[in-house]
Amino acid sequence: MKRNVFIVILILVIFFAISFLTNILGPIVPALIDSFHLSTGLAGFLPFSFFVAYAVMSIPAGVLAEKYTEKPVLLAAFVLAFAGAFFFALKPSFGVALTSLFLIGIGMAMLQVVINPLLRVAGGEEHFAFNSVLAQLFFGSASFLSPLMYSYLVQHVHKTNKGTLINLLNRLVPENLTWVSVYWIFAAVALVMILVIWFVRFPKVELKEDEKIETGNILWELFQKRTVILFFIGIFAYVGTEQGIANWTSRFLQTYHQVNPETTGARVISLFWGLMTVGCLLGLLLLKLFDSRKILMTFAAGALITLSLSLFGPKEVALVTFPLCGFFASVMWSIIVSLGLNSLPSHQGTFAGILCTGIAGGAVVPLIIGGLADLFGLRIGMLFLYLTLGYIFSIGIWARPLVNNKTIDWNLKRLFTSKGTE
């Protein structure tokens, strides 16, 4: 299969853009609470509006891609992202925020569905594993950089005249809402992506059987399988945990340790995503050495320990252990998905689509935490994550995949014996 390097690079940029637009809510939540005078419970509707879009759009996006090809879906996704970001930047209010975040979420869900098959075709199947890891690095780097960008903007907009960009944002952004500058940047990024994609010719993607999403009876039959439901809950729990920590950490540090959310808080979230990327790379090695279920249990236990230290330890500890939660969360998505897909003999594409709807956990769990925080305080609210992490830990106990991950044979005696008999 002929490789198209330009298309591969473009897809990697799309991965970057998805993460850039998705993982900024955590640092911004404290500013939104202050600007719109929100309770913690109401603030929980912000990530809810974004991530519920995945539940709505994951499976329909797959159907649309099969019917209309990838390019129209990519264009539509970035048009929605542009509309959401531009609308929010132009008319910042809580109601507009909910609508805009939902539109951006719909766009991101559409992108997530189409880019992996496109990456496989454009980069060649023999390079797909390598390109997938590279894509995750681009995704992770954007997660790391977007909080730092937010911190830079709020420290300079309406405070300096440093450079053309800051001068432009000084004219566009209300003086008391400097965080709005982030959404002007998002709108610009989405607009550039629309223009680039419009003029690019994409290769024809022939979906494999395990990439196709079936509807009707097959979908209904899968929803009735216990294995499907259990792994759907697993993805729901993982994304809920990830976003529950990412969205509430900065607010927690501000509330209990008087940490500035625009500087230190944003930096902690940046490190959370950065260590998650590091953990993904380490996870590639560990999966060659150990059974994936044991790794999942070990990392879930590590996440429980670091979360506990974050919630009940002093400020100096929390500033270290909150980012470490990202490290321990790093392998959970890939292991849960692989265990799930390896637990069914057929209909992998449809099952993958169902698992993607589990991303809605990122909508529900932060909302629950926010509601509990209004009643009992944010520290108690975040204890809800013990349930989600406990469930993730349990997957390592009850999962029975048809195929286990291949590991290096540590039995040296048998290894040398077999060589001696050849």
**Contact, 222 vs 117, CB < 8 A?**
no
Q: How far is CA 172 from CA 89, 182, 243, in A?
A: 9, 11, 30
Q: What is the pLDDT of residue 209?
A: 61
Q: What is the pLDDT of residue 5?
A: 84
Residues 30, 98: Cα–Cα separation, whole Å:
16
Q: What is the pLDDT of residue 178?
A: 92
Residues 169, 190: Cα–Cα separation, whole Å:
17
**Contact, 213 vs 356, CB < 8 A?**
no
Q: What is the pLDDT of residue 419?
A: 46
Which among 36, 52, 50 is positioned nearest to 85, based on CA atoms?
Answer: 50
291-315: pLDDT as tens digits: 889 999 999 999 999 999 999 999 9
State which residues of the chain have pLDDT below 70.
1-3, 129, 207-216, 346-349, 403-422
Radius of gyration of the chain (CA): 22
The model's pTM: 0.88
Q: What is the pLDDT of residue 129?
A: 65
Q: What is the pLDDT of residue 201?
A: 87
Where do the domains of the chain lie, and which CATH numbers do they carry? 1-207 (1.20.1250.20), 208-408 (1.20.1250.20)
